[in-house]
Amino acid sequence: MKSNAVLINTARGPIVDPWVLYGVLRANRLFAAALDVTEPEPIPLDHPLLTLPNFLVVPHIASASVATRTKMAVMAAENLLAGQRLPNCVNPSVYSARGS
């Protein structure tokens, strides 16, 4: 990434190595970072990342909007009522394990 970039992770904690992130932020090789998820979660209170002025961590709230939560609920209900394979299955190998 460019040194003037801002890294934002709202996906999964293990995508970002917190120790590598600490090193690049401290060395100004990255402008800033904001994490909605960490590995481990929660991030330990004594982690050096928390001492940096160019680092922000929030309590896993990226999807906390009425619109997003409504969409999530509608998708879950539609998947349940459809009675078939999930259109957005994260682990499709479950279908072959069940023999369906």
Identify whether 60 is a catalytic site residue: yes
Identify whether 41 is a catalytic site residue: yes
Dist. CA 66–CA 73, nearest whole Å: 11
Ramachandran class of 36: left when φ > 0, alpha when ψ lies in -120 to 50, beta otherwise: alpha
Catalytic residue among 12, 29, 69, 85: 12
Catalytic residue among 26, 39, 47, 60: 60
Catalytic residue among 26, 39, 41, 47: 41
Dist. CA 18–CA 49, nearest whole Å: 7
Identify whether 69 is a catalytic site residue: no
So which residues are the catalytic ones?
12, 41, 60
